[in-house]
Structure 1
Amino acid sequence: MDSRERIDASTIPGNAPQHLKQSLLDLISAEAKLNRARGTRGFEPEIASRIAEEPERLEGRVVGEITVHDDMLNGRGTIHGACSALLIDNCSSMPIALLNLATTGKGDLGVSQSLHILYHAPAVTNDKLRIVSTSITLGSRVLSSRCEIWNVTKHRLVASGVHTKMVASVPNTSSKL
């Protein structure tokens, strides 16, 4: 972003408050001004000014909620990692199926290739969790989504993951023994 022109934050879409959008723009602008004063330009201003979200991108997004119960806990009394993995595995498949239905009319959950999970904070009995899953890509072969488990009770991220799937191939029904 070229700091010589001030961008009005109200023109930027999204649900962040306008004062935060403007503060971020001002911060970036001040950094660019400082770099010009130092005589350093680099390639960043040229590239950063071209960053934009893909306007025609279709996205599947599914949000669900669940309360932590005793059957979800490990021996320490916090949500078991395998339980978090199960939630991420199941919930991250939903936006892929949703987007598939919206674009092709067919619901395909695909089959898992990889599931990368980061555990951030524990959750305990009676904590309310919000699970937010969003599609990343929906190709002819590879499907991917991201998923975050938020602790609504304690206002923190419990776990996050990226799930890569592939379109299932049709099994060969004839045996060649």
Structure 2
Amino acid sequence: MASTTELDHVKAVWQQMRSNSPIYDFLLSELEVVSATKGSVTSHLTLGPKQMNSSGTIHGAVSAAIVDMSGGLAICSRGLEKSGASIDIHVTYIGQAHVGETIEIESTANKVGGSMAFTTIRICKLVDGKPGPMVATASHTKYIQNIQPRSKQ
């Protein structure tokens, strides 16, 4: 029997995360995971009014939620079913994004050890289907001890 691909696995984990998290389901329900390899996940999100701040640009809390979610998905792309508990999230806000714009989220699991995982995330606007101006960069550390790898199928 063939094993599931990283993309299939990450999409399944994302659906589970959404169903267990009202905030992810509210803020990020339109997010689409577009690619995944071992340790790397790329997602797209077209921004709507619920992701905006009072100035009409992507809210910092939304960016932080994206970092939390996408860092977890990058960790899970290494074969884990869950992504653990956040220890540290650091977001650097570089640019703006507005309603109707699509952002691309690139998340990388730089190291997944026995108890800790370290990720980096880049959020940029898509322009003509290609990565354009940077919106934010981030680092995210998670505690993952006792998280079991997925079973081979």
Question: What's the Cα RMSD here?
Answer: 1.9
Provide the rounded CA distance (Å) in 2 between the counterparts of 1:160 and 1:111.
20
Structure number, greater radius of gyration: 1
Larger strand percent:
2
Instruction: Report the counterpart of residue 77 of structure 1 in structure 2.
Output: 56
Is residue 115–residue 146 contact of structure 2 (8 Å, CA) maintained in 1? no
Report the identity percentage: 27
Provide the rounded CA distance (Å) in 2 between the counterparts of 1:77 and 1:127.
12
Output aligned runs, 1:140-155, within 5 Å.
140-153=114-127, 155=132
1:119 matched to 2:93: yes
**For residues 51-85 of structure 1, what are the alpha-carbon distances to aligned partners after superposition, in whole Å with 9 as ceiling and x for unaligned?**
xxxxxxx9510000010101100000000000111
Instruction: Report the counterpart of residue 44 of structure 2 in structure 1.
Output: 65
Shift of 1:108: 3.0
**For residues 90-145 of structure 1, what are the alpha-carbon distances to aligned partners after superposition, in whole Å with 9 as ceiling and x for unaligned?**
0111111111x1xxxx4231111100110000100111101000111011111111
Question: Structure 2-normalised TM-score?
Answer: 0.66
Q: How many residues align?
A: 108
Shift of 1:155: 1.6
Instruction: Report the counterpart of residue 76 of structure 2 in structure 1.
Output: 97
Provide the rounded CA distance (Å) in 2 between the counterparts of 1:122 and 1:86.
16
Shift of 1:168: 4.7
Larger helix percent:
1
Letter in 1 for 2:138: G
Helix, strand or coil: the match of 1:152?
A: strand
Question: Structure 1-normalised TM-score?
Answer: 0.57
Shift of 1:151: 0.6
Is residue 59–residue 134 contact of structure 1 (8 Å, CA) maintained in 2? no
Moved over 3 A (4+): none
Instruction: Report the counterpart of residue 144 of structure 2 in structure 1.
Output: 167
